[in-house]
Amino acid sequence: MPSQARPLVLKFGGTSVGSPERIRHSARIAAHAAREGRPIALVVSAMAGETDRILSLCEGFEGGLGEAETDLALSAGEQVSAALMALALREGGLRARAFLGWQIPIQAEGPFGRAQISQLDGSLLKRVMDTGTIPVIAGFQGIDAQGRVRTLGRGGSDLSAVAIAAALEAECDIYTDVDGVFTTDPRIVPSARRIPAIGYDEMLELAAMGAKVLQTRSVEFAKARNVILRVKSSFLAPGDSQGTEVMNPKDLAERRIVSGIAYARAQARIRLSDLPESPDTAAEIFAALAQADIGVDMIVQTHGFETQAIALEFSVEQKDLAQALSAVKDVLERLGQGTLGHETDLAKVSVVGTGLRGRADVARTLYGVLAQEGLSVRMVATSEIKISALVQADALEHAVKALHGAYGLEA
């Protein structure tokens, strides 16, 4: 029975489909939404822990990472949970059918392991929904032009859900194990507060700085396509979750200086000193890193007063360190000058808020708080709406709690 109401995409993450009981409970949440008369589609992640398990199996084989077959294996977790979810919906008396990415089709391009959705045809899903059947789509996967399965990067089912919502002109509810986006990870700071509504840009910055409640690219996509996006808990009774709405900042009722604190573990920093004084030096180094496909985050470049030599420091994810060092070494050899050093076991803590724009005292507060707590800061970087500090890994939780308190985010 076709309905005039706006369709809704419900995405259930790994813990929300972590066992047959959790799948049944999530199916009840979907049934509750369907009873309100809206056409719905579901997107599911692999059962919690499953993607990690498959990944470690693949890593056991030489050259396994970044290969087509690894993506094929990784995508299997979502295949299972999509089928189980369809069974659970049917058990509850609804009509449902499970789909893999290629059946929609969801086209994806880019490196194996972190492809991007390039095209998504919603017509099959619309036809299915028009007949009163609930499609349950395996998240995290698409198909490339050669007909090979590609996965969308960790947390990529969020992106699948948002892209499907955009194709269906639907709203998108992301169900997870916490009741929305909080002022920081509630697992680290139990007094963190739920943020009822947040703008796309702040959410994007929180996600990019490590708040894994939403995958960064899913927020980018939602912003670009104006998808109404909500984060909700699947661990409450159907209809009980209050959650967070991610929206156009114009529509926000409340203005805050700081919205939240995000963190990222397993960071490293690389320091290059005595580099030749030439405008091309840094460009050449970052070109080599980009060529090796390494994301560089915080960057500090200084120019000596007396020697004219350049020093360059930046942070990378620890998993990329070895590759980054080897890319940089090649450049140093070409330049015939420069000293290379690095430090590991670091973490990054970031304060995010649109109210930080143009405020001169932001760095003072951050340094002040961290110094007062006796935490040494390795590097600081700012952007329009965030300030990040690199600290020692074992000081991370301490730093998050201290900043959360200092910026007045406590419940």
Q: Which residues bind ligand ADP (CB under 6 A)?
A: 13-16, 45, 155, 176-178, 181-182, 184-187, 211-213, 260
The type of residue at 101 is: G
Place of tokens 């194990």: 177
Report the alpha-carbon distance of residue 391 to residue 387 in Å, rounded: 13
According to DSSP, the β-strands at 116-120 and 106-109 are antiparallel
Pick one of ligand ASP, ligand ADP, Mg ion, none as the site partner of residue 15 (Cβ within 5 to 8 A by kind): ligand ADP
Stretch that binds ligand ASP, among 150-158, 245-253, 308-316, 378-386 (CB under 6 A): 150-158
Report the alpha-carbon distance of residue 409 to residue 11 in Å, rounded: 28
Pick one of Mg ion, ligand ASP, ligand ADP, none as the site partner of residue 181 (Cβ within 5 to 8 A by kind): ligand ADP
Under DSSP, is residue 40 helix (H, G, I), strand (E, B) or coil? strand
CA distances (Å), origin 173, targets 12, 194, 264: 9, 16, 25
CB 52 within 8 A of CB 16: no
Told to check if 199 binds ligand ASP by CB under 6 A, we report no
Looking at the Cβ atoms of 157 and 315, the one nearer to ligand ASP is: 157
- How many residues make contact with Mg ion (CB under 5 A)? 2
Stretch that binds Mg ion, among 12-20, 79-87, 222-230, 365-373 (CB under 5 A): 12-20
CA angle 65–264–184, rounded 5-degree value? 135
Residue 273: which residues within 8 A CB-CB, separation 6 or more?
309, 311, 312, 338, 339, 341
Report the alpha-carbon distance of residue 216 to residue 116 in Å, rounded: 12
Pick one of ligand ADP, ligand ASP, Mg ion, none as the site partner of residue 88 (Cβ within 5 to 8 A by kind): none
Told to check if 221 binds ligand ASP by CB under 6 A, we report no
Return the residue of 18, 77, 135, 199 that touches ligand ASP, per CB under 6 A.
77
Return the residue of 8, 9, 14, 33 that touches ligand ASP, per CB under 6 A.
14
Report the alpha-carbon distance of residue 29 to residue 256 in Å, rounded: 32
Cα-trace Rg, the chain: 23
| Least distance between ligand ADP and beta carbon 1 (Å) | 31
Told to check if 140 binds ligand ASP by CB under 6 A, we report yes
Report the alpha-carbon distance of residue 199 to residue 363 in Å, rounded: 23
Looking at the Cβ atoms of 255 and 265, the one nearer to Mg ion is: 265
Closest to 16 in 3D by CA, of 142, 158, 221, 165: 158
Looking at the Cβ atoms of 39 and 156, the one nearer to Mg ion is: 156
Pick one of Mg ion, ligand ASP, ligand ADP, none as the site partner of residue 178 (Cβ within 5 to 8 A by kind): ligand ADP
Return the residue of 77, 155, 180, 243 that touches Mg ion, per CB under 5 A.
155
| Least distance between ligand ASP and beta carbon 157 (Å) | 3
The type of residue at 165 is: A
Looking at the Cβ atoms of 95 and 187, the one nearer to ligand ASP is: 187
Residue 18: which residues within 8 A CB-CB, separation 6 or more?
47, 48, 49
| Least distance between ligand ASP and beta carbon 394 (Å) | 26
Interface residues with ligand ASP (CB under 6 A) are 13-14, 45-46, 51, 77, 139-140, 154-158
Interface residues with Mg ion (CB under 5 A) are 13, 155
